[in-house]
Amino acid sequence: MARGFEPPEHAWKAGHRGVDLWSARGAVVVAPGAGVVTFAGSVAGKPVVVVTHPDGLRSSLEPVQGTVPRGTAVRAGDPVGVLAAAPGDDANPDHCAALAPPTGADACVHWGVRRGETYLDPLSLLGVAPPIVLLPPS
């Protein structure tokens, strides 16, 4: 993993609303779960694929050039696109560019997950993120 989930203190503040996973440009990117491709296009100059899952969660994958059209039903592991190069300029930086990739990787895919407008740690859906613990008010 290149970078983990770092939720902002408040919804409007800076944070890292997903995880970055090392790979190689041109690598096939697969659906993280069953669902329907509800978007495959460009957002702020980056190619993005969104898979909406049956439970209402939405997975966004970027920079991923979609290889299946909007409306396509997918299962976990089905190809949805290929990892593209991010623009990497001051207006739209590739936030993995400053990190040292492991051997065989030269890019990363950003995987974000939302329930409504709330971002979740994608790794929690795989059972590998630390659990969220609610504490009583202090």
CA atoms of 7 and 69, how far apart (whole Å): 31
The overall longest dimension of the chain from CA atoms, in Å, is 50
Q: What is the pLDDT of residues 69-109, one digit of tens each?
A: 999 999 999 999 999 876 666 555 666 777 777 777 788 89
Q: What is the pLDDT of residues 27-39, one digit of tens each?
A: 999 999 999 999 9
Q: 91-94: which pairs have CB atoms within 8 A and are 24 or more residues apart?
A: 91/45, 92/44, 92/45, 92/46, 94/63
